[in-house]
Structure 1
Amino acid sequence: MIDYNYDTFATDDYDFESTVGPQVGDKAPDFKLTTTDGARRSLLDFDGDFLVLEMGSITCPLFQSRRGIMEPLAHHPRASSAVLYVREAHPGAEIQSHKSFEDKAACATRLKEEDGETRTVFVDGFDGQAHTAYGSMPNAVFIINKNGCVVYRSDWNNPSATRKALDALVAGQTIKAKPYFRPAVPSTVLHTLGRAGKGAKIDFFKGLPFLIWTNIVKRNLRLLFGRAPKGSHDTTC
C-alpha cells in the first residue's frame, strides 16, 4: 500500500488473506489519542472489566450497518465501548480522503453530531498509527481485558458474535461464537456510498465480486472448519 489515506478504494488497499495485528492472548497496543470532545486519553485506560474496540469511519457501510447493535454495548455494566476512527473506507467527492489530522477529526465529529454515535470516539493519527497496529481492517473489532490483553478479535465485526463473546467473557465462560462475515444492509450501503459522493459507489461495486469471494465464501469457510482461539477474563500476556 503506497498511501494510507487513499483517494479511491481498491481491493489491493487491504490484505484480506493474512491476519495482521494482535492475536488473542497478545498485548493490545496502547496509544495516547484525542477524543472527539478534545480530551487526550490512553486507549487502554477504560472503566469496567473489558473494552470493546471497533474500527470505523462514516464512509464504511459495514460499520454503519453495525452501529445500531453495537451502540447499546456502551451501557454494558461490566465493559466500556469505543470506536477508533480510521481512514475513510470509501471516499468520494463529498467525503474525501483525509488530507490532515483536522480532516479526520472533523469526520469523527460528524459521526457524533450527524449520525448520533454515542460511544467514545478516538481519533487516530493522520497516518493511522493505531489502526495499522491493530491490523488496518476497516471494521475490525477487539475485546481487551483489564490486563491489556486481546481476548477476542474479528477482522470484520459481526455484532451478534461480538455480543455473545462479551457475555461469555463476563460470565467466565469459554467463547464459542464464531464471527462469520455478514454483509452490510443493502440500503445502508447505498446511503453510505451516496453520502460519500461521486466515485464511491463505482469503486465499491468494481471490487464487490472480489469482496464476496474473499469474505463471504473463503473467510467464512475458514471459520466454519477452523478452531477459534479462546480468551478469558483472566488472560495474561
Structure 2
Amino acid sequence: METTYNYPRFSSEYYDFSEFPGPRPGETLPDIAVTDLEGKPVRLSDFRGQPLVLETGSVTCPIYVQEIRPMNRLARDYPHVKFLTLYVREAHPGEELHEHKDIEDKRRCAAMLAAQDGEKRQILVDDLDGNAHRQLGGFPNLVYVIDGEGTVIFRGNWNHPDKVEEILQSGDFTSVRHRDLYGPDFPTPYTMYRVLARGGRLAFWDLAKSIPRLLKNHKVVEQQGRRQEETHRPQPKTEATAG
C-alpha cells in the first residue's frame, strides 16, 4: 500500500487489490471518530440503534459520483436506515483540484458534493491522514451495511446500490453476507469526463496510464468474489459476533 495517504497524482499502485482489510462481515465496526462539515466531532457509535449504510467517496471519484443518485433514492425509500457519506482523499487529484493540504480544504471539497452533485445524505469528513478510511479498508468507494448493534452485515470494496438494496428490501439484519469483493460499476463517459475535469488534465492522464492495470486487477477481484459466493452463504450472527 501507499506511504503517502494524500497522493498528489493517481496511480493504481496506491491500492492493493489483493486484500480487503478492515472489519469483516460478522465483526463489530470500530467506533471511528470523524467530523461533520462544520468540524463538529462525530463518532460512528452516535448512530447505534438503527441500521446504517456507510459509503466512502470524494468529489474526484467518478465511480462514487455515479452512485449518488441511486443512493439518495435508497435513503428516501428506507427512512428507518441512516445513510452516511464519509469523505476521504481525492481519488484523482491534478493541477486544478489538488490533494488536501489541510482539513479546511478537505471540508471545502466535501461541501462540493451537495452543491455540485446533489448529495443529500449526511456527509462526514475523515481526518487529513485518513485514519477512518484506513480502518475501513482504504478503497475509494467502499460500502458497509451495519445493523443497529454495530455489527457489519455486508461490505463491498466497491459500492453497488443494487446489492445494498437487496439487504434493505429483505429487512434481514440477522445474517451476514460473506461476499465482499466486486468489480466496480464503471461510470458513464459524461460522468467520467465531468468528474475528472475537476482534477484537471493530469487527472485524465494519470487514469489513462493506469487503465490496463486497473482492468486486469478488477477482473481478478471479480473472480475472487465469485469464488467467495460459491463457497459461502449468508450466515446468522452468533452471540459472539453480535457484540
> TM-score under structure 1 normalisation?
0.90
CA deviations on 1:158-209 (whole Å, 9 max, x unpaired) are 1111211222244767759876422222221111111221200000111111
Alpha-carbon separation, structure 2, partners of 1:229 and 1:105: 40
Q: How many matched pairs?
A: 236
- Show structure 1 runs of 4+ deviating over 4 A: 170-179, 231-235
Task: State the AA in 2 paired with 1:140.
Answer: L
Task: State the AA in 2 paired with 1:127.
Answer: D
Once the 2 structures are TM-superposed, how far is the Cα of residue 31 of structure 1 from its aligned partner? 2.3
Moved more, 31-40 or 60-69: 31-40
Find 2:147's aligned residue among 145, 149, 157: 145
Percent of aligned pairs sharing the same letter: 35
8 A Cα contact 2:178 2:228, kept in partner:
no
RMSD (CA atoms): 2.3
8 A Cα contact 2:9 2:203, kept in partner:
yes
CA deviations on 1:75-131 (whole Å, 9 max, x unpaired) are 313211000000000001111100111111110011122222100000000100100
Task: State the AA in 1 paired with 2:221.
Answer: R
8 A Cα contact 2:66 2:191, kept in partner:
yes
Unaligned runs of 5+ in 1: none
Tell me the equivalent position of 1:230.
234
Is structure 2 residue 204 aligned with structure 1 residue 201? yes
Alignment of 1:26-65 (within 5 A): 26-46=27-47, 49-65=50-66
Task: State the AA in 2 paired with 1:208.
Answer: I
Alpha-carbon separation, structure 1, partners of 2:109 and 2:58: 8
Once the 2 structures are TM-superposed, how far is the Cα of residue 149 of structure 1 from its aligned partner? 1.2
Task: State the AA in 1 paired with 2:190.
Answer: S
Alpha-carbon separation, structure 1, partners of 2:236 and 2:108: 37
8 A Cα contact 2:179 2:225, kept in partner:
no
8 A Cα contact 2:25 2:176, kept in partner:
no
Alpha-carbon separation, structure 2, partners of 1:47 and 1:101: 26
Instruction: Tell me: CA distance 1:20–1:229, structure 2 relative to 1, closer, same or farther (3 Å).
Output: farther
Alpha-carbon separation, structure 2, partners of 1:169 and 1:74: 14
Tell me the equivalent position of 1:211.
214
CA deviations on 1:44-74 (whole Å, 9 max, x unpaired) are 3227631100000000011011111111222
Tell me the equivalent position of 2:190.
187
Unaligned runs of 5+ in 2: none
Task: State the AA in 2 paired with 1:236.
Answer: A
Tell me the equivalent position of 1:84.
86
8 A Cα contact 2:153 2:177, kept in partner:
no
Instruction: Tell me: CA distance 1:37–1:170, structure 2 relative to 1, closer, same or farther (3 Å).
Output: farther
Find 2:161's aligned residue among 159, 170, 187: 159
CA deviations on 1:204-236 (whole Å, 9 max, x unpaired) are 111111111111x21122222323563668861
Tell me the equivalent position of 2:110.
108
Alpha-carbon separation, structure 2, partners of 1:145 and 1:110: 29
Tell me the equivalent position of 1:8.
9
CA deviations on 1:24-58 (whole Å, 9 max, x unpaired) are 01111122322124433222322763110000000
Task: State the AA in 2 paired with 1:12.
Answer: E
